[in-house]
Amino acid sequence: MTKPYIHPDTPARLKTAYRRAKGEDGKPYNMRALALIRGVNIYWISKAIRHGERPTNAHIARALFFPKYMRGKNAQSLTTSPLPEYEKWWRYTLDKQARNTIKQRLYKHAQEINNAGRQTK
């Protein structure tokens, strides 16, 4: 028997359970047998194995060996990437009062530009 396609995002424990689930004919890789063993609908088994999709229902997700809580895809990359120089300057060299003063001046300047544009029309 050829090995069926399993999506890379499928949990390892689900892959193992899928391989061990044998149907009435004794062949491995049986989704119906796995659905009976895990106590979930075959639809969720198929979605998890073929597409790597995590069910939104927490009980079904736990039955299919998905983690209890979903992680953001970019959570680690956002925390580990270094800040640009202008961000470092803005955050670490200026105190809050200085930042607020700059924001107010920029806002007033933008208002002056907008008002000047309206008067010339």
Domain boundaries, the chain: 12-63, 78-120
Of the candidates 31, 42, 40, 32, the one whose C-alpha atom is nearest the C-alpha of residue 4 is 31
Residue 105 scores a pLDDT above 70: yes
Band (pLDDT 50/70/90 cuts) for residue 84 is confident
Residue with tokens 């063993």: 37
Q: Determine contact, residues 9/55, Cβ cutoff 8 Å.
A: no
Of the candidates 94, 78, 97, the one whose C-alpha atom is nearest the C-alpha of residue 86 is 94
Looking at residue 67, its pLDDT comes to 85
Alpha-carbon separation of residue 106 from 88, 102, 109, 111, 112 (angstroms): 20, 6, 5, 9, 10
- Output 87 or 118, whichever has higher pLDDT: 87
What confidence tens digit (pLDDT) does each residue in 16-49 have? 999 999 988 888 899 999 999 999 999 999 999 9
Can you tell me the distance from the alpha carbon of 51 to that of 109, in angstroms, rounded to the nearest whole number? 53
